[in-house]
């Protein structure tokens, strides 16, 4: 491991909570695609499969920020454990209703309740922010490390979820995702030494973190970004089935995540200058351009290559987003602010997976890749339109202006340091 990454694990407890976060985030890459695979296996209806995945994502989008807001008030342990138990019970009901071929409305009801799953990635990043608030370089490296962990989940998660559901039994993928969630959350919440201190008074008196104009831009852009991810998942499974290798979809999606993982590892070693708002816009535009080759591929190897290139822009954009959230959101609302971007992405995943499912049913997988292409263009337009809200000084007079002790100085110093 390069020395900057070794350095961030010098604090006690960092290895344990990061490992717990890896387990707890596996469902992020497994549950949605597992539901798509399970339902398509059982019914052959990609429209229904995409709609269920969309329901799960929309539910998480609505409930996730509220859970994180409670976490900022009362702490991770007190909130995450009961929320996770509700989600696990809903997963059990979803699998049972699918296996017993109950009415479609029961599937949607349970999928909505699965959305109580907490945003584990936000919880882990909040712990890093608590530890390295005064050390901008270490915090940049820590966020880059977590982007690597995210992509590791997306490399192995779909392989496990799709592979088990196609080779063993249709419900196997979502079932394993639920087990990972339980193990990760309960292990994480057992670690009290690195848990961020709650801020009940600040959180109660100043409203939602979403009042910040800069955060609004990030969330809106992430809706389009999430639509890219949701659509690519659904269409890639359908494309692989059309060419007679449905189980290979997990490997192709793993290559997509691998591209992001490689880019994130390199990005964490860099000491960059210039405000992160510029890198954010460049990253979103690169994601949009990377969707063009997907319209031209005709085989799984070519698709894998195109997705690897497309993945290179993901992790750097995500890491840059975390720096912008710290600049635009008060410290007392940091977990909520991070979760709002996840919420925007979840809404996008819902829209993208649903639209892609209907596009596949109507015109086949080739037409389905038009959905992430359109989402990429929309994301670039939103990022350009909101750029002024993300620039230096944009938080000075806005309702989301950070309170004393927030991370703005750290974020600014990181970008003012010379390269090298």
Q: What is the spatial distance between Cα 78 and Cα 144, in angstroms, rounded to a whole number? A: 28
pLDDT band at 407 (very low <50, low <70, confident <90, very high): very low
- Average pLDDT rounded to a whole number, residues 3-22: 88
Whole-model pTM: value is: 0.74
Contact residues for 344 (Cβ-Cβ < 8 A; gap 6+): 61, 218, 219, 220, 221, 222, 223, 225, 226
Give which of 170, 129, 171 is closest to 146, Cα–Cα. Answer: 129
Contacts of 362 (CB under 8 A, 6+ apart): none
Q: Is the dihedral of CA 330, 268, 233, 371 positive or negative?
A: positive
Average pLDDT over residues 349-358: 83
Domains in the chain (CATH in brackets) are 3-416 (1.20.1250.20)
DSSP, res 248 = G
pLDDT for 11: 87
Residues 74-99: pLDDT tens digits? 888 888 999 999 999 999 999 998 88
Highest mean pLDDT among 109-118, 135-144, 239-248, 301-310: 301-310
The pLDDT tens digits of the residues spanning 257-308 come to 888 888 888 888 777 777 788 888 999 999 999 999 988 887 888 999 999 9
pLDDT band at 403 (very low <50, low <70, confident <90, very high): very low
State the Cα–Cα distance between residues 135 and 410, nearest whole angstrom: 7
Mean pLDDT calculated for residue range 116-120: 83
Q: Predicted confidence band at 420 (pLDDT cuts at 50, 70, 90)? A: very low
372: helix, strand or coil: helix
Please tell me whether residue 5 adopts helix, strand or coil conformation. Answer: helix
Mean pLDDT of 311-325: 87
Higher pLDDT, 183 or 205: 183
Give the tens place of pLDDT for each residue, 381-400: 999 888 888 776 655 434 33
Q: Are the C-beta atoms of 395 and 216 separated by less than 8 Å? A: no
**Beta carbons of 338 and 322 less than 8 angstroms apart:** yes
Q: Which two tokens stand for residue 292?
A: 């063009």
How many CB atoms neighbour CB 151 within 10 A?
Answer: 26
Residues 6+ apart with CB under 8 A from 383: 217, 221, 280, 281, 284, 285
- Mean confidence (pLDDT) of the chain: 81
Rounded distance between C-alpha atoms, residue 35 and residue 33, angstroms: 5
Phi, psi of 72 (to 5 degrees): -60, -30
């Amino acid at each position: 491991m390069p020395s900057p990454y070794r350095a961030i694990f010098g604090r006690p407890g960092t290895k344990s909570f990061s490992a717990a976060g890896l387990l707890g985030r596996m469902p992020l890459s497994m549950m949605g695609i597992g539901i798509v695979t399970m339902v398509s296996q059982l019914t052959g209806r990609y429209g229904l499969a995409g709609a269920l995945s969309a329901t799960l994502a929309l539910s998480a989008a609505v409930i996730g920020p509220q859970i994180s807001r409670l976490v900022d008030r009362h702490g991770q342990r007190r909130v995450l454990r009961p929320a996770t138990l509700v989600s696990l019970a809903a997963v059990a009901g979803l699998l049972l209703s699918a296996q017993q071929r109950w009415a479609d409305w029961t599937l949607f009801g349970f999928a909505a309740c699965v959305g109580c799953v907490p945003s584990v990635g936000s919880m882990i990043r909040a712990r890093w922010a608590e530890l390295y608030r005064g050390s901008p370089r270490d915090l940049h490296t820590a966020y880059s490390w977590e982007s690597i962990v995210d992509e590791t989940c997306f490399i192995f998660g779909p392989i496990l979820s799709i592979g088990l559901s196609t080779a063993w039994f249709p419900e196997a993928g979502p079932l394993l995702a639920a087990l990972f969630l339980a193990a990760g959350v309960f292990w994480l919440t057992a670690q009290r030494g690195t848990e961020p201190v709650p801020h009940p008074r600040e959180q109660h008196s100043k409203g939602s973190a979403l009042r910040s104009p800069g955060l609004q831009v990030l969330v809106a852009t992430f809706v389009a970004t999430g639509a890219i991810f949701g659509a690519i998942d659904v269409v890639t499974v359908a494309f692989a089935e059309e060419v007679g290798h449905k189980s290979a979809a997990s490997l192709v999606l793993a290559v997509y995540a691998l591209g992001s993982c490689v880019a994130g590892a390199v990005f964490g070693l860099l000491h960059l200058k210039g405000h992160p708002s510029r890198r954010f816009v460049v990253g979103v535009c690169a994601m949009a351009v990377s969707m063009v080759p997907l319209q031209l591929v005709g085989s799984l190897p070519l698709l894998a290559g195109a997705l690897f290139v497309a993945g290179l822009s993901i992790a750097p954009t995500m890491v840059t987003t975390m720096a912008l959230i710290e600049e635009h959101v008060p410290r007392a609302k940091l977990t909520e602010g991070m979760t709002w971007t996840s919420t925007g992405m979840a809404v996008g995943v819902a829209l993208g997976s649903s639209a892609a499912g209907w596009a596949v049913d109507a015109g086949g997988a080739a037409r389905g890749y038009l959905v992430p292409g359109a989402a990429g263009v929309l994301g670039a337009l939103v990022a350009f339109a909101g750029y002024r809200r993300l620039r230096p000084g944009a938080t000075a007079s806005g309702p989301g202006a950070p309170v004393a002790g927030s991370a703005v100085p750290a974020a600014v110093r990181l970008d003012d340091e010379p390269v090298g």
